């Protein structure tokens, strides 16, 4: 069984994408999105690992976050935590400003939570 919680590319992430250009995003994050959301690939990997009766489900959590909450969320991401202090503060300020100016004080945050279940053969 694998239970993973990953951010989804929502309208806020899309608006922020230019500010993330050039940053070392997590290796699981590909051009088409997060690899753990690729059901076919993940089910095949579990089957190759000796699991059968593999099932996949994706749960969606949608919420609106104010500037402080969005800053706090992004501040917890490893690719942000690893930035030099000045770069990290500049990015977090950009995030807060983006929430306030472009989204009117509350921006969407969509999280997709994939759940993969399998039985060991």
Please report how many Cα atoms fall inside a 13 Å half-sphere around the Cα of residue 97, on the Cβ side: 8
pTM over 0.85: no
27, 33 contact by CB (below 8 A): no
Burial (CB count <10 Å: 0-12, 13-18, 19+), residue 99: buried
State what percent of residues in the chain have pLDDT above 70: 87
Residue 24 has pLDDT above 90, yes or no: no
Residue 31 confidence (pLDDT): 56
Task: Identify the three-state secondary structure at position 64.
Answer: strand
CA 17 to chain CA centroid, nearest Å:
12
Of 23, 9, 7, which Cα lies nearest the Cα of 94?
A: 23
**How does pLDDT run across 67-115, given as a tens digit for each residue?**
999 999 999 998 899 999 999 999 999 999 999 999 999 999 988 889 9
CB distance 116 to 64 below 8 Å: no
Per-residue pLDDT at 113: 87
């Amino acid at each position: 069984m694998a239970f993973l919680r990953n951010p989804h590319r929502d309208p806020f992430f899309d608006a922020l994408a230019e500010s993330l250009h050039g940053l070392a995003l997590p290796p699981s994050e590909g051009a088409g999105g997060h690899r753990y959301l690729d059901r076919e690939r993940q089910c095949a990997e579990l089957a190759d690992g000796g699991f059968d009766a593999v099932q996949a489900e994706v749960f969606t959590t949608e919420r609106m976050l104010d500037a402080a909450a969005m800053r706090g969320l992004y501040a917890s991401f490893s690719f942000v935590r690893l930035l030099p202090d000045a770069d990290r503060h500049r990015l977090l300020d950009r995030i807060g400003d983006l929430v306030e100016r472009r989204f009117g004080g509350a921006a969407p945050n969509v999280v997709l939570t994939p759940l993969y279940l399998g039985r060991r053969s």
